[in-house]
Amino acid sequence: MRHLLSTTDLTRDDAVDLLDVAEEMAQVSEREVKKLPVLRGRTVVNLFFEDSTRTRLSFEAAAKRLSADVINFSAKGSSVSKGESLQDTMQTLAAMGADAVVVRHAGSGTPHRLATSGWIDVPILNAGDGTHEHPTQALLDSFTLRRVRGGLPASGPAEGARGTDLAGSTVAIVGDILHSRVARSNVHLLNTLGAQVVLIGPPTLMPWGVEEWPAEVFYDYDDALAAHEFDAVMMLRVQLERMHQSFFPNPREYTRLWGLTPQRYRALPGHTAIMHPGPMNRGFEICAEAADSPRAVVLSQVANGVAVRMAALYRLLMGTESEGRS
């Protein structure tokens, strides 16, 4: 694996391998010394052109736990604000000896452009590009779901999940599908791992051509709950900052029709995991009862993100090293 740009690039074996490596990395986080020396001497650049807290800190923690040197680059306060081009930024990083670049950018397709441009010859890891994809978020969601489905702790030390996929699981993804890179990555990855995916949301927040996606689509939340017994319900944040017109009447109406209300939460089967990529808007897309319930695995998703990103960095950099020696 040279780059991690999209979940569509991952085969079932690729995905299961990454999840299995993440299981090994999760054990490191439980040790007194939370470090492995495998990337000592390597430099990982976190190149973030969009604001982020969870993803940036998670990648930074992952690289440092593998003993890599980390350079955090933010577009704000950099030469980008003075008009420097993306090409010049990447060539500067190459001159500084970057060994891998984690990139988050508002432009869909930017990581692919960097991987194929020739400006820098290192692994590129997509940390979210526009409304396109967010592959490591989908991987950590599948990692969490695989554990929950196997009756294991959602995070922390566990045995028994390795080598398995998500065949037989049914997962609902609810809300603003149109603007969600998390939804796109999850649909592809969950399908690759054998899960059935159900998309739920208003017609105005479904992408054009969604009927061609490997997922069943519902516009009525209650109809979907009546038709399926879900193993997980993943609520999405309504991305108001990406909306330049009215996609639904008002927040109260959205909550009534597509929110995880107390009534809908209580109607779910007892084993259903409640997921959310964060940040959550309590009382809007998800009620506090669901967000704070024992079935909510939101904080486990955050914890598992470090292990999954450790696995991705390890596979990208060590794989490159192995190829160079062969």
Q: Are residues 142 and 236 in the same domain?
A: yes
Q: Are residues 86 and 148 in the same domain?
A: no
pLDDT in tens, 146-159: 999 888 888 876 77
Q: What is the pLDDT of residue 325?
A: 35
Kindly tell me the sign of the dihedral angle through the C-alpha atoms of 166, 167, 168, 173.
positive
Q: How far apart are CA 251 and CA 248, in angstroms?
A: 8
Query: Mean pLDDT across the stretch 232-255?
Result: 83
35 annotated ligand-binding residue: no
Q: Are residues 122 and 249 in the same domain?
A: no
Task: At 285, list the tokens.
Answer: 């897309």
Q: Give yes or no for a contact between 38 and 67, defined as CB atoms under 8 angstroms apart.
A: yes
Q: Which long-range contacts (CB under 8 A, 24 or more apart) does 113-117 make?
A: 113/86, 114/86, 114/90, 115/2, 115/3, 115/5, 117/87, 117/90
Q: Are residues 147 and 226 in the same domain?
A: yes
Q: Are residues 149 and 226 in the same domain?
A: yes
- Could you tell me if residue 2 is inside a domain? no
Q: Are residues 277 and 313 in the same domain?
A: no
- Could you tell me if residue 34 is inside a domain? yes
- What is the distance of C-alpha 269 from the center of its chain? 25
Lowest mean pLDDT among 210-219, 253-262, 291-300, 316-325: 316-325
Q: Are residues 220 and 85 in the same domain?
A: no
Q: Give yes or no for a contact between 173 and 137, defined as CB atoms under 8 angstroms apart.
A: no
Tell me the pLDDT band of 82, cut-offs 50, 70 and 90.
Answer: low
- Could you tell me if residue 317 is inside a domain? yes
168 annotated ligand-binding residue: no
The yes-or-no verdict on residue 326 having pLDDT over 50 is no
Tell me the pLDDT band of 203, cut-offs 50, 70 and 90.
Answer: very high
Q: Are residues 106 and 174 in the same domain?
A: no
37 annotated ligand-binding residue: no
266 annotated ligand-binding residue: no
Task: At 75, list the tokens.
Answer: 């577009």
The count of C-alpha atoms lying within 13 angstroms of the C-alpha of 81, restricted to the half-sphere facing its C-beta, is: 7
Q: Is 186 exposed, middle or buried (0-12, 13-18, 19+ CB in 10 A)?
A: buried
Q: In degrees to the nearest 10, what's the CA dihedral of 189, 193, 195, 199? A: 10
pLDDT in tens, 86-110: 999 999 999 999 999 999 999 999 9
Residues paired with residue 70 on neighbouring β-strands, in sequence order: 44
Q: Which of 312, 279, 272, 270 is nearest to 298 (CA)?
A: 279
In the β-sheet with 124-129, what is the strand arrangement from edge to edge?
A: 69-74, 43-48, 100-105, 124-129
CATH number for the domain harbouring residue 141: 3.40.50.1370
pLDDT in tens, 105-145: 999 999 999 999 999 999 999 999 999 999 999 999 999 99
Q: Are residues 63 and 129 in the same domain?
A: yes
Q: Are residues 106 and 207 in the same domain?
A: no
278 annotated ligand-binding residue: yes
112 annotated ligand-binding residue: no
**Number of domains the chain is built from:** 2
Q: Are residues 48 and 154 in the same domain?
A: no
137 annotated ligand-binding residue: yes
Residue span of the structural domain in which 72 resides: 7-133+302-325
Count of Cβ atoms closer than 10 Å to residue 277 Cβ: 25
134 annotated ligand-binding residue: yes
Q: Which of 249, 245, 272 is nearest to 260 (CA)?
A: 272
Task: At 5, list the tokens.
Answer: 């740009």
Q: Are residues 105 and 200 in the same domain?
A: no
